[in-house]
Amino acid sequence: VFHPHELSFDSFLFTNGKEYVVATLLAVIEYFVELLFFPTSKQNVFFIAIGTLGCAVMQMVRTASMWTCGSNFHHIIQEGKDPNHTIVDTGIYA
């Protein structure tokens, strides 16, 4: 919706450097270690519901922040000031 011409594969977290790859690998290892030592924890409906709710709430926060920024939102971190950019201090940023 905002700056679609700038949206590309690099806009997503797949190519964010070795730190991101290491963090992702550690998360996957953590998952399988928990599965090995605490197999029933992955079947607990309470934890599944809490995790799903957390993901849904944070996606709503993310979407609200993008809409609040409007044309000031970019998919890629900006290294210089766009002349049309304004500081957003309303909505979720208030």
pLDDT of residue 14: 67
Q: How far is 56 from 17, CA to CA, in rounded Å?
A: 26
Q: 11: Cβ–Cβ under 8 A, 6 or more apart, which residues? A: 75, 76
All structural domains of the chain with their residue ranges: 4-93
If we measure between CA atoms, which residue out of 37, 64, 34 comes closest to residue 51?
34
Go through 70-85 and write b for each residue having 16 or more CB atoms within 10 A of its CB, e for each that does not. Answer: eebebeeeeeeeeeee
- The model's pLDDT over 8-65, given as tens digits with 9 standing for 90+, comes to 777 776 667 888 889 999 999 999 999 999 888 888 899 899 999 999 999 999 999 9
DSSP state of 77: -
pLDDT of residue 54: 98
If we measure between CA atoms, which residue out of 82, 61, 93 comes closest to residue 6?
82
